[in-house]
Amino acid sequence: MMKLVPALLVLEDGSSYRGWTNNFYATSIGEVVFNTGMTGYQEILTDPSYSGQIVTFTYPEIGNTGVNLEDNESCNVTVKGVIAKNISSISSNWRYSENFVSYLKKNKVLFISGIDTRQLTRHIRYFGSMNGGIVSNEILEPRDLLKKIVDIPKMQGLDLIKKNTTEYVFSWKGNTKDVWNYSISKNLISKKIFKVIVIDFGVKFNILRQLSFYGCSVLVLPATASYDAISRYCPDGIVLSNGPGDPSTANYAIDTVKQLLNSNIPILGICMGHQILSLSVKKETYKLKFGHRGLNHPSGKSQKVEITSQNHGFAVQLNYPNVLRNSNELQITHFNLNDQTLAGISHKNKPVFSVQYHPEASPGPHDSDYLFYYFVCLMKQNLHSNKSK
């Protein structure tokens, strides 16, 4: 039986919630956000896009299936803390290797359970995502924790990419067994092996897996890689990965993508990559009130809808500095149909496109797998047109 001790959650607006944890004398501070997914907590905890955040799970039961050796999306647990209605210390699943509570403790992730996550989520939806902290101590006074919370930087203006990108260039040699291949047809897999450079803003492993499924040789480069360093590899295509923080602070990446756009190499942008790509063509980003984090966001256009997995707190501005709808360079391919924010673009004259959501969808539905196939088709078409010149 898990031994619990009192814990306290405090938000920067002074709101406080009392619950329970199993860690004595621990404190965790970060941006408090919520995720509406009913599954995928292990992928969420290891997704670098959640770096610096305390995640509230709206689904009431977390941890029932434990954790396993296959579902990690990076080598590290990147969240600052976990908030849930109930966290199970007992696990039951044919793949599990460790129970959830011991996994959190081993990775030094503080949790708080036993609070009304419905009320907390409504509070965040109304007032917006904000910094907060969890503390477990003998004296649990909200004002003491609040002093620490107001001193940490807000997510807007924070560059977290450099803390989450790879330090070294590496070739992806991960698992590509059929067990990971949920929806693609073997007839669609390319017989030609395309060399793809992934610029790592905080990449998820399943992006690398999906590229491998479609016959790509994947090389991962740091987010700070220069245009010259990327060009030396002579890639057939470039993927701009997901990642955490405020995209407008990553000037080093924006400048590199500006140069890459002139090279006519096919480019796919995912989430942070979509935002970096948009900033490189002089669009602007802004912070959403409470972000999009969940597995059931409808996205699409012209009466075609995909149910998508999303995880982001920023979005591309539709109307700044020009109206994107009337752009000579870009066309809109997807909206988030919950709030009509921009969810996908493509370039009218170049083999370039991006989406604000996660087509690799781990966790989540696989409606958007076709985007990887589309990317391979662009590389194939670009290769043929270059040979014919």
Q: Is 113 exposed, middle or buried (0-12, 13-18, 19+ CB in 10 A)?
A: buried
Residue 18 lies in a domain: yes
Q: Considering the chain, what percentage of its residues have pLDDT values greater than 90?
A: 75
- Which amino acid belongs to residue 340? Q
Residues 40, 178, single domain; the answer is: no
Residues 107, 202, single domain; the answer is: no
- Note the pTM of the prediction, 2 decimals: 0.93
Residues 106, 234, single domain; the answer is: no
Residues 145, 176, single domain; the answer is: no
Number of domains present in the structure of the chain: 2
Per residue in 260-313, pLDDT (tens digit) is: 999 989 999 999 999 999 999 989 999 999 999 999 999 998 788 999 999 999
Residues 185, 240, single domain; the answer is: yes
Determine how β-strand 342-347 pairs with β-strand 330-336.
antiparallel
Q: Considering the chain, what percentage of its residues have pLDDT values greater than 70?
A: 91
Q: Is residue 371 helix, strand or coil? A: helix
Residue whose token pair is 């407008």: 248
Residue 156 lies in a domain: no
What range defines the domain where residue 196 resides?
Answer: 161-388
Residue 154 lies in a domain: no
Residues 271, 186, single domain; the answer is: yes
Residue 155 lies in a domain: no
Residue 294 lies in a domain: yes
Residues 128, 171, single domain; the answer is: no
Instruction: Copy the structure tokens of residue 91.
Output: 């696990």
Residues 105, 253, single domain; the answer is: no
Domain harbouring 64, CATH code: 3.50.30.20
CA–CA dist 294, 318 (Å, integer): 22
Residues 222, 249, single domain; the answer is: yes
From 110, 126, 149, the end of a domain falls on 149
Does residue 179 register a pLDDT over 90?
A: no
Residues 209, 128, single domain; the answer is: no
Q: Which residues are catalytic?
A: 271, 358, 360
Could you count the other beta carbons within 10 Å of the beta carbon of residue 349?
9
CB neighbours of 201 closer than 8 A, spacing ≥ 6? 161, 164, 165, 223, 240, 241, 242, 243, 250, 253, 272, 273, 276
Domain harbouring 270, CATH code: 3.40.50.880
